[in-house]
Amino acid sequence: MVSIEEIDQQVVEAPLSKEEAKGQFVRKKEHRAKLVEFESRIQGREGVLTGDAKDSYNPLKHTFAGGCYVREIFMPVGQLLVTKIHKKKHPFFLMSGEMSILTEDGVQRIQAPYNGITHPGTKRIIYTHTDCVLVTVHATDKTDVESVEEEVIAKDFNDPEITEYDIQLLTGGSLT
């Protein structure tokens, strides 16, 4: 797996050409379309959890502290789930367990302890190989779960905050 530091270094030392950036953008859009299609095909199948059903089945712990919302989720072994669409960049931590995550870069199998960064527009398919505890941390001034979710979760990939992030990726960070 490539680290954020390695990606940042590549951006400085060997930036992508416009054609390479467009190619990555197209792959991202294709991946998103396939995720949405997959989610609609599997919804309602036994043992598969998506959206709000995932949250009601998996125990959640909510903590607010110092301008942060901390969300801890327990996911039992053998669960296939599709996450919501994230609007904001934030860290995540696999505190215990082992899972496979399907991203636009392929399947990544991770084992605790593990930490990573979620970027705007991220939607994942996860399979838990063992019982897992995952923690996400979101910077916010909100103090109730519903308001935080409105701030950090997108209803679809057309959310303005996600498309703004995509434009920045495509143009190398410039909006001109």
**Within a domain: 128:** yes
pTM metric for this prediction:
0.71
pLDDT tens digits along 8-53: 565 566 665 555 554 555 566 777 777 777 777 777 777 666 556 6
Is the model's pLDDT at 67 over the cut of 60?
Answer: yes
Q: Is residue 38 part of a domain?
A: yes
CATH number at residue 57: 2.60.120.10
- Distance separating alpha carbons of residues 54 and 69, to the nearest angstrom: 19
pLDDT digits (tens, 9 = 90+) for 72-95: 999 999 988 888 889 999 999 999
Kindly calculate the radius of gyration of the chain based on its CA atoms and give it in whole angstroms: 17
- Domain span including residue 8: 4-170
Residue 17 resides in a domain: yes
Number of domains, the chain: 1
The verdict on residue 176 lying in a domain is no
Q: Is residue 175 part of a domain?
A: no
Kindly state the DSSP code that residue 17 receives in the 8-state scheme: P
d(CA 151, CA 73): 19
